[in-house]
Structure 1
Amino acid sequence: MPKVSKKGQEMPASPIRKLVPFAEKAYQQNKTVYHLNIGQPDIKSPQIAMDAVAHHSLSVLAYTRSEGSQPYREKIAAYYQSKDIPAEANDIIVTTGGSEALLFAMGSIADIGDEIIIPEPFYANYNGFATASGVSIVPVISKIEENFALPPISEFEKLITDKTRAILICNPGNPTGYLYTPEEINQLAALVKKHDLFLIADEVYREFTYEGLKHYSILEAEGMENYGIIVDSVSKRYSMCGARIGCLVSKNKEVIDTALKFAQARLSPPTFAQIASEAALQTPQSYFDEVISEYEDRRNTLIKLLEAIPGLKVGHPKGAFYCIAELPIENSDHFAQWLLEDFDLDGETVMVAPAAGFYSTEGVGTNQIRIAYVLQKESLIKAVNILKVALEQYPG
């Protein structure tokens, strides 16, 4: 019998999606499941984006340019400039989600066996992208006791070898919600310039910052023209996860020219989704003001309730819409499955994302979960109460 590839065998399952069969079984048992496991916002997508697709004038659904349509890229550039991020249309390649932008970035800067240093916990699919690209992740552990702040630069520097090609961060962070300070970004910028590396920043949650704090992009740091690569997406910004439109941004012409060859190989990003995404750029600031206020209120409610659970420790997110909670248990994978298979409170239960899959260091994060506060506040309150009771009854 033919065998699948070693690479295929090594591809990690999503810690977010692998519990879906158990959730489906819970539905069949007529349980209500509160989904704290996945970053699918319940916020309505901008109507202007939906209308642009509904009222299109296309007679042929044709390819666009491999790098994305020129009008869309020009408008993306204007958006970045409004955020003090120096970018022109020619610095941008439109991709099929931020996921493809990450794959293009890895494929453009690293060969098989090369290394990328990443602070962990990190977005779980970085493991999958690295495996698909033949790249090794070298982790630097950030700690819940320090609210997942950037580890000391010395910890990064001692891991740099002749195989190191880049440092990758997510800012604000998924799964931690940590927002890097300008000082931390500038420290990383100085490090990559010193060692002639790239700094890749996944900035898809740029708009979601709280307590009056502002996001600081890697391309705002001085002298990053040849070193910085931004990965971005419309998915969370406009609650348009299904559009699957993102982009890769760099002032480094060689990086863009190389990434364009990957883009040409997959022909073009989806046309209707670009139409929606281009229209979404006209979304008024009032939309974001309301959304951010809503998320900040949910965050405050969630953290307060979690902190009241005996033995539970939780990070304090400053951005995005996730937090990491450390539970008084040994195995969050088992606990998450038990919640769906064997537990309910008056016919209701919760689905969480075990956090071990957000680390690449073996054995770390096994008693942690990621919570996405993308539910209405009333549902969050119910979900945390269910979690509290579950921890009291959990046999493990």
Structure 2
Amino acid sequence: MPRISEKGLAMPASPIRKLVPYAEEAKRKGRKVYHLNIGQPDIPTPKEALDAVKNCDIKVVEYSHSAGIESYRRGLAKYYQNVGIDITHNDMIITAGGSEAITIAFLTCLNPGDEVIIPEPFYANYNGFAVQAGVVVKPIVSSIENDFALPPVEEFEKLITPKTKGIVICNPNNPTGYLYSKEELEQLATIVKKHDLYLFSDEVYREFCYDGNSHFSAMMLEGLENNVILMDSVSKRYSMCGVRIGALVTRNKEVIATAMKFAQARLSPPSFGQIAAEGALNTPAEYFKEVYDEYIKRRDFMVEALNKMEGVYCPKPKGAFYTVVKLPIDDSDKFAQWLLEHFEHNNQTVMLAPATGFYSTPGLGKNEVRIAYVLNVDDLKNAIECLDIALKQYPGRTL
């Protein structure tokens, strides 16, 4: 029998999706499963996006330009300009979700064996994208003890080697909900300038910044015009994860020209996804105000409820709609599986994402899980009640 590739064997399973078979089995048993494991909001997609697809009268679904439909790119450029990012439609390539933007960015800027530094815990799929590109992830640990703030510049310096070619950040952060400040990004910029690195900035959750905090984009850092690669997506901003539309944005002309070759190789991004995304650009401000208020309500309920539980610590996220929570358990992977296989309360249970999959350093995240507060407050109340009872019954409880 032919062998599987080394990359295939090295490819990590998703901590967000690997427990799906257990969730499906729980549902077959008639149990209600509250999905706190995945960033799939229950917020309605804007009517403007749905109407753009419904009212589309094209007769042939053609390939678009490999960089994406020009009218969409021009509209998206105006969106960025309105949030203080001065770019044009020629400074971007529309991609099949943020995932393809990250993959193309890695393939364009990095050689196999090159190293990127990423504060952990980090979005689990960065590990998979790195495996695809043959890139080595060098994790730098951020701690729940200080709510996952950016590690000191000195810690980054310790990891710099001749193979270091970039730093990856997610701001606001998935999975922690931490929002990097302008000051933290400026500290990071000193390292990027000193060692002439790429700064890959995943800013998918830009619209979700709370408590009066504003988002400062890495694209706003002065003197890094050729260093910053912005990766973005419409999935969370407009609650339409399934359209699979993202963007790679940079002022570096050589990067754009090279990335275009990868974009041409995959032909074009999804047509109907682009139509929906272009329609979404007309979403009124009231939509975002309502979404903001809803997430604040969900976050505040969840943080308060979790921190009332014995042995549980939940930082208060400043952005996105996730948090990493410390639990009194022996093994988050075992616990998450046990919840689906063996636990039920009023014929209900909870699906969580073990935090081990959001770390690259072996052994970290054993007593942590990522929770996505993407359900309405009534469902969150039921889910948190289930979790509270489950923690008291779990055989591997450490208190």
Deviation at 1:151, TM superposition (A): 0.2
- For residues 187 and 198 of structure 1, the distance between their equivalents in structure 2, rounded to whole angstroms, comes to 15
Letter of the 1:230 partner, please give it.
L
- For residues 286 and 257 of structure 1, the distance between their equivalents in structure 2, rounded to whole angstroms, comes to 38
- What per-residue deviation string (whole Å, max 9, x for no partner) do you get for residues 231-257 of structure 1? 000000000100000000000001111
Deviation at 1:190, TM superposition (A): 1.7
- What per-residue deviation string (whole Å, max 9, x for no partner) do you get for residues 42-68 of structure 1? 000011111111111211100000000
- For residues 68 and 221 of structure 1, the distance between their equivalents in structure 2, rounded to whole angstroms, comes to 26
User: Is 1:391 matched up with 2:380?
Assistant: no
Equivalence for 2:211: 211
Deviation at 1:121, TM superposition (A): 0.2
Deviation at 1:303, TM superposition (A): 0.1
Equivalence for 1:137: 137
Deviation at 1:223, TM superposition (A): 1.3
Equivalence for 1:368: 368
Equivalence for 2:292: 292
Equivalence for 1:124: 124
- What per-residue deviation string (whole Å, max 9, x for no partner) do you get for residues 190-212 of structure 1? 21011100111000000001001
Equivalence for 1:69: 69
Letter of the 2:368 partner, please give it.
Q
Equivalence for 1:148: 148
Equivalence for 1:108: 108
- Secondary structure of the 1:167 match is strand
- For residues 391 and 87 of structure 2, the distance between their equivalents in structure 1, rounded to whole angstroms, comes to 49
Equivalence for 1:339: 339
Equivalence for 1:381: 381
Letter of the 2:262 partner, please give it.
F
- Secondary structure of the 2:258 match is helix
Letter of the 1:170 partner, please give it.
C
- For residues 193 and 93 of structure 1, the distance between their equivalents in structure 2, rounded to whole angstroms, comes to 25
User: Is 1:263 matched up with 2:251?
Assistant: no
Equivalence for 1:243: 243
- For residues 76 and 185 of structure 2, the distance between their equivalents in structure 1, rounded to whole angstroms, comes to 23
Letter of the 1:96 partner, please give it.
A
User: Is 1:157 matched up with 2:157?
Assistant: yes
Letter of the 1:199 partner, please give it.
L
Equivalence for 1:310: 310
Equivalence for 2:279: 279
Gaps of 5+ in 1: none
TM-score normalized by the length of structure 2: 0.99
- For residues 241 and 208 of structure 1, the distance between their equivalents in structure 2, rounded to whole angstroms, comes to 16
Equivalence for 2:81: 81
Paired residues for 1:172-191 under 5 Å: 172-191=172-191
Letter of the 2:255 partner, please give it.
V
- Secondary structure of the 1:371 match is strand
Deviation at 1:108, TM superposition (A): 0.7
TM-score normalized by the length of structure 1: 0.99
Deviation at 1:352, TM superposition (A): 0.3
Letter of the 1:33 partner, please give it.
V
RMSD: 0.6
- For residues 162 and 86 of structure 2, the distance between their equivalents in structure 1, rounded to whole angstroms, comes to 30
Equivalence for 1:60: 60
Letter of the 1:91 partner, please give it.
D
- For residues 117 and 16 of structure 1, the distance between their equivalents in structure 2, rounded to whole angstroms, comes to 22
Deviation at 1:367, TM superposition (A): 1.0
- What per-residue deviation string (whole Å, max 9, x for no partner) do you get for residues 255-300 of structure 1? 1111111000000001111011001001011100110110011000
Q: Percent identity?
A: 59
Equivalence for 2:97: 97
- For residues 271 and 376 of structure 2, the distance between their equivalents in structure 1, rounded to whole angstroms, comes to 32
- What per-residue deviation string (whole Å, max 9, x for no partner) do you get for residues 207-239 of structure 1? 001001100000111112111110000000000
- For residues 310 and 354 of structure 2, the distance between their equivalents in structure 1, rounded to whole angstroms, comes to 19
- For residues 15 and 36 of structure 2, the distance between their equivalents in structure 1, rounded to whole angstroms, comes to 13
